[in-house]
Amino acid sequence: MKHTAILLTATLLTILAGCGPSNKLTNDEKRQSVSTMAAETLERLYSEKVSTKEEIAKAAGYGAFSNANVNIIFASAGGGYGVVVDNATGAKTYMRMGMGGLGLGIGAKDFRQILVFNTKEAMDRFVLSGWEFGGHADAAAKAGDKGGEASGEGMIGDVKVYSMTEAGLALQATVTGTKYWKDKELN
């Protein structure tokens, strides 16, 4: 168990260090990279689930996140980055995220997440406190356009969450805690 904890800690540090646009970019280039990821993620969601385009247009705002997750037997860890967009003002809040969990599973995956904020209060609360806590179960085996996944969508209060696997191989059922926070460098 001690070796698993050491391996998980090393993996988490590696993931968090590598998550986000390259440190070689200027802050403007990093913001552009995050905005490009968000636009591509939205387009993918719209093509896979056409009704979401209208849903997001009517919402108070949305968040788009790029995440990486590793699960080693009894523990999981991950990290990522993204942006929350206020539909009324167009204001963008650049954010980071980290996650950890306990449960059964093995694998690693790169996935995208769209959060749809049905109320301004839910969006503001998310930007200010950013916590999410809950269960997570999925199966994914994907490389490029090959393979498949069984994850999907869920509702947390006034926030609807859509997840889409980019690449990876994972089978997991965990209880996770996720923390989102403002990226001090990009805001």
Q: What are the tens digits of pLDDT across the range 33-89?
A: 999 999 999 999 999 999 999 999 999 999 999 998 788 878 888 899 999 999 999
Which pTM does this prediction carry? 0.77
- Is 60 exceeded by the pLDDT of residue 15? no
Question: If 0-12 CB within 10 Å is exposed, 13-18 middle and 19+ buried, where does residue 136 land?
Answer: buried
CA distance 152 to 39: 19
CA distance 141 to 143: 7
> Dihedral of the CA atoms 81, 159, 173, 12 (nearest 10)?
20
pLDDT at 71: 80
Mean pLDDT of 101-111: 79
Average pLDDT value for the chain: 80
